Amino acid sequence: MDTNRRNFLKVAGISTLATLGGTVVVERLVTGSNLAHASAPGGHAAEGAAHAPAHEAAQDPSVNRYGMVIDIRKFQQDPSLGEKVVNACHTTHNVPKFPDKKDEIKWIWMTHFENAFPEQPNIYRDTATGTHQLPILCNHCDQPPCVRACPTKATFRNKDGIVMMDYHRCIGCRFCMAACPYGSRSFNWRDPEAFVKDPNYVYPRRMRGVVEKCNFCDERVGSGKLPACVEACSDSKAIVFGNLNDPNSEIRKILKEHHTIQRNPALGTLPSVFYIV
Amino acid sequence: MFEKALKGNNYYWMWLAFLGFFIAIAVVCYLRQYFYGLGLTGMNRDISWGIYISQFTFLVGVAAGGVMLVLPYYIHNYKAFGRITILGEFLAIASLLMCLMFIMADLGQPLRGLNVLLYPTPGSMLFWDMCVLWGYLILNALCGWVILTAERKQVHPPKWIYFFVYLSIPFAFSIHTVTAMLYCGLPGRHFWLSAIIAPRFLASAFAAGPALIVVMALILKRVANFDAGKEAINKMVTIIIYAAIANMFFVCLEFFVGFYSNIPGHKHTLEYLFFGVEHHGHVYNNLVPFMWGFVALFFVGIALISHPYTRKQSDLWLGIGCASIFVAFWLDKGIGFVLGGFVPTPTHEIVEYYPTLNEVFITIGVWATGFFILTILYKIAIGVEHEIEA
């Protein structure tokens, strides 16, 4: 009798400890990816994310939280705008132009609605949406799968919501490219130096073997400028950039006034780029 | 014990020289890739992992397959596996070294590989994969070596080694589970985003790994005068049959979920892999022959190893059967699974991947290196066996 009781207590004790320990480990794993962007106490509460409107949990007025609204109608009205936007970005950031499509690197590019929003198929789509193109870029997700996947924290999320790349830490495993559900990441398959015409010496060029992507013009925003793509749109307001945490910001006003959509929101990544259709 | 690898007949040296030839070619090809960049491969921003990572995925399975010998022998005290358990452990070592070489070949900045240790990131499955792969490699090297040494001295292995032997069993399962988690935790890649990936990986691993061991055992019987024993081979074949059928069952379940639910995302990759898809007037089907090859070889293999005549009467048919199963699952996991997962791209375009010659030679070279290491390890193991018998 006595030994049975002792054995029972032993087993019970060990399993309790294991369960507790297990939970802690799992919690640590889940929150691990959030460490880099612990912007606010209780920020990005994962439980509510599915039901809460995007970014509700992240609304901390003391921290900037950058986002972007892209007005697809403006790109339909002015078809030359797309090229201007792409060129502005790619020259600012020394994005190389390779003759071979296999080596392609792009930070922002024009594509069709059906490619940008494949989860919204519609065989009776209106002609304008069906034929015109819109820009897509890194979504700077609130819950970025790429940051979760990176084994070296070479890609990380800033407190201001920008998902950044450390080109000097990246080992080039390309796990982030597999993880990104928006195809926003590119890899330097070869030395890009010879394929950057007129380099911009304010921003570094990359070496071969590392991943790169749109950085929401972190270097420009930090010095009080607007992102290059926003600037390229000049007064058309085709792209509006701003602080999502400031209820009085222009971007919040636009978001309040228009119905906007995000790319594949069902994945729970909470993109920071919104589209007005 | 290494001196055993230095004495061999002409065939032994010719075989090593043959492998060495491919290794030398691969070294040159790798240097080219190292100085140019991964642009020398067929990969691009849409198909960002190619045959390096798919070989890696398959070989993790081969490494894990060795546990199908270790587990019955050490847990169930199944004595018939006594002679060949070492073959499983040494196969795991060679496979894991191939895995690590494939990872290094795939890195854009291989010299920064240690950043994974310098900035450990428990949220990343790649970090855990590194931990379990190295763990399993060290465990197998330790257990294999200590037990073989004890055997040579004809004493019982030290008690403490059993702790590591038992530890290596959950590690074997974990290496392939964590490798599956590299894929099945990624949002937006429907083909990979399936809870059955890990069990499917384990099932195909427990067929492919033992299948290779049976082939090796049959070859060693002819060339090295090493008989694994009829009972052991028979039991292994039974394990292969069940594991192979389990894998095919899981594949069928994937088909059911995709096609019965009729959700396009769940069907696209399966359609691309097995039937080819048409997109903007162009048909994309470059993986279709591989996938039907996988299905056909599975049926050939399972028939040969199940039928009493081919299974028991003839080593040749048995060997061909096991080799068919091995190649079938290589086509499935070492080609289709990884490459197919990238189709269609997140922006619903279809890009097909063709490896370049340089890439193929590096891949062959890594396999050759693996078999080179395996040959030496088996030479040592069998040398010890013969020494005891003498």
For residue A17, what pLDDT is reported?
58
Question: Is the residue at A38 inside a domain?
Answer: no
What is the sign of the dihedral through the CA atoms of A9, A14, A18 and A24? positive
Report CA dihedral (A15, A20, A22, A23) to the nearest 10 degrees: 140
Q: What is the DSSP letter of B345?
A: -
Q: Which stretch of B6-10, B96-100, B263-267 has the lowest confidence by average pLDDT?
A: B6-10
Domain enclosing residue A83, as ranges: 65-276
CA distance B3 to A131: 72
Q: What is the mean pLDDT of chain A?
A: 85
Confidence class for position A32, pLDDT limits 50, 70, 90: very low
Contact B116 A171 (CB under 8 A): yes
d(CA B103, CA B336): 18
Q: How many CA atoms, within 13 angstroms, populate the side-chain half-sphere of residue A151? A: 21
Which of B11-38 are b and which e, b meaning 16 or more Cβ less than 10 Å from the residue's Cβ? ebeeebeebeebbeebeebbeebeeebb
Whichever domain contains B60, its CATH number is 1.20.1630.10
CA distance B180 to chain A (A): 13
Q: Residues of A numbered 147-166 whose beta carbons fall under 8 angstroms of chain B's beta carbons: which are they?
A: 148-154
Q: Is residue A41 part of a domain?
A: no
Residue A135 phi, psi (nearest 5): -80, 140
Q: Which CATH number is A123's domain given?
A: 3.30.70.20
| Residue A6 confidence (pLDDT) | 67
Chain B CB contacts of A156 under 8 Å are none
> Smallest Cβ distance to A33: which of B112, B123, B345?
B123
Distance CA A6, CA A2 (A): 6
Interface test with A, best of B134, B347, B349, B352 (most A CBs within 10 A): B347
DSSP A137: E
Integer angstrom CA distances of residue B149 from A51, B77, B169: 61, 20, 21
* Closest partner CB to A169 (pick from B36, B119, B347): B119
**pLDDT score for A44:** 42
Nearest CA in chain A to B33: A190
Token look-up 């590119």 returns A186
Q: What is the largest CA-CA distance in chain A?
A: 86
Chain A CB contacts of B103 under 8 Å are: 173
Give dist(CA B98, CA A165) in Å, integer.
Answer: 30
Residue B171 has pLDDT above 90, yes or no: yes
Nearest CB partner across the interface for B109, out of A28, A171, A190: A171
Q: pLDDT at position A40, please?
A: 38
Q: Do B45 and A105 touch (CB under 8 A)?
A: yes
The answer to whether the CB of B277 falls within 8 A of the CB of B268 is: yes
Nearest CA in chain B to A167: B109
B15-63, pLDDT tens digit by residue? 999 999 999 999 999 999 999 999 999 999 999 999 999 999 999 999 9
User: Does A176 lie at the interface with B, CB-CB under 8 angstroms?
Assistant: no
Q: Would you put residue B355 in left (φ > 0), alpha (ψ -120 to 50) or beta?
A: beta
Residue A13 lies in a domain: no
User: Closest Cα partner for B58 from B96, B25, B20?
Assistant: B96
Q: By the CB < 8 Å criterion, does A117 face chain B?
A: no
Report the C-alpha gap between B256 and B267 in whole angstroms: 10
- Residue A36 has a pLDDT of 40
Give the Å distances, CA to CA, from A62 to A34, A143, A277, B114.
19, 20, 31, 38
Whether A267 and B188 lie within 8 Å, measured CB to CB: yes
- Inter-chain contacts counted by CB atoms under 8 A, chains A and B: 153
Q: If you average pLDDT over residues B87-99, what whole number do you get?
A: 94
Does some domain include residue A204?
Answer: yes
Q: Which of A102, A211, A264 sits opposite B44 (nearest CB)?
A: A102
Q: Within a domain: residue A15?
A: no
Cis bond upstream, residue B110 (ω within 30): no
What pLDDT shows up at residue A35? 41
Distance from CA of A164 to the nearest CA of B (A): 16
CA distance B331 to B291: 7
Which of A114, A207, A264 has its CB closest to that of B188? Answer: A264
Residue of chain A with shortest Cα separation from B343? A178
User: How much is the average pLDDT of B272-298?
Assistant: 94
Expressed in angstroms, the distance from the first to the final Cα of chain B is 16
- Cα–Cα distance for residue pair B390/B149, rounded to 1 Å: 16
Query: Per the CB < 8 Å rule, is A151 touching B45?
Result: no
Cβ-based contacts of A121 with chain B (< 8 Å): 264
- CB contacts, 8 Å: B112 with chain A: 152, 169-172
Domain that holds residue B240: 2-389
Identity of the amino acid at B283: V
Cβ within 8 Å of residue B334, ≥6 positions away: B51, B54, B55, B57, B58, B59
Who among B119, B187, B344 is closest to A152 (CB)? B119
Domain membership of residue A170 (yes or no) is yes
Predicted local distance difference test score (pLDDT) of residue A163: 96
Listing DSSP states for B285-298 in one string gives -TTHHHHHHHHHHH
β partners of residue A111: A134
As a whole number, mean pLDDT of residues A181-187 equals 96
For residue A119, give the chain B residue with the closest CA: B265
pLDDT tens-digit series, residues A190-224: 999 999 989 999 999 999 999 999 999 999 999 99
Give the distance from residue A205's alpha carbon to the nearest chain B alpha carbon, in angstroms: 16
Integer Cα distance of B257 and B249 in angstroms: 12
Q: Name residue, tokens 């694994």.
A: B228
B229: left (phi over 0), alpha (psi -120 to 50) or beta: left
pTM of the full structure = 0.89
Measured between CB atoms, which of A101, A171, A183 is closest to B345? A183
Q: What does the pLDDT look like over B175-218, one tens digit per residue?
A: 999 999 999 999 989 999 999 999 999 999 999 999 999 999 99
Q: For residue range A117-174, list pLDDT tens digits in order.
A: 999 989 999 988 889 999 999 999 999 999 999 999 999 999 999 999 999 999 999 9
Nearest-Cα residue of chain B relative to residue A267? B187
Question: Is the pLDDT reported for residue A26 higher than 90?
Answer: no
- Structural domains counted in chain B: 1
Number of domains in chain A: 1
Question: Is there a contact between A149 and B118 if contact means CB atoms under 8 Å apart?
Answer: no
Task: Please tell me the least confidently modeled range out of A17-26, A93-102, A246-255, B135-144.
Answer: A17-26
Burial A137-160, CB ≥16 within 10 A → b, else e: bbbbbbbbbbbbbbbbbbbbbbeb
Pick the more confident residue, A251 or A23: A251
* A23 pLDDT above the threshold of 60: no
Q: Suggest the residue from B41, B102, B104, B112 to mutate for an interface test with chain A (most A CBs closer than 10 A).
A: B112
CA distance B110 to chain A (A): 7
Cα separation of B387 and B32, whole Å? 44
Q: Is the pLDDT of residue A48 over 70?
A: no
- Any idea which of A32-46, A241-255, B112-126 has the lowest mean pLDDT? A32-46
Chain B nearest-CA distance from A155, in A, is 11
Is the pLDDT score of B129 beyond 90? Answer: yes
Place of tokens 């795991």: B92
Closest CA–CA distance from residue A6 to any residue of chain B (Å) = 25
Residue A229 included in any domain: yes
Q: Report CB contact under 8 Å: A188, B347.
A: no
Segment holding A179, helix H or strand E: helix A175-179
Which two tokens mark B74? 């050490």
Contact A179 B187 (CB under 8 A): yes
C-alpha span between B64 and B178 (Å, rounded):
12
Cβ A208–B186 below 8 Å, yes or no?
A: no
| Residue A220 falls inside a structural domain | yes
Cβ-nearest to A209 among B108, B127, B187: B108
**Residues A51-67: pLDDT tens digits?**
444 444 456 777 889 99
pLDDT at residue B365 tops 70 = yes
Q: Answer yes or no: do A102 and B39 touch at CB < 8 A.
A: yes
Q: Does A195 touch chain B (CB under 8 A)?
A: no
Q: Is residue A70 classed as helix, strand or coil in its secondary structure?
A: strand
Contacts of B265 in chain A (CB under 8 A): 119
Asked if residues B205 and B61 have their Cβ atoms less than 8 Å apart, the reply is yes
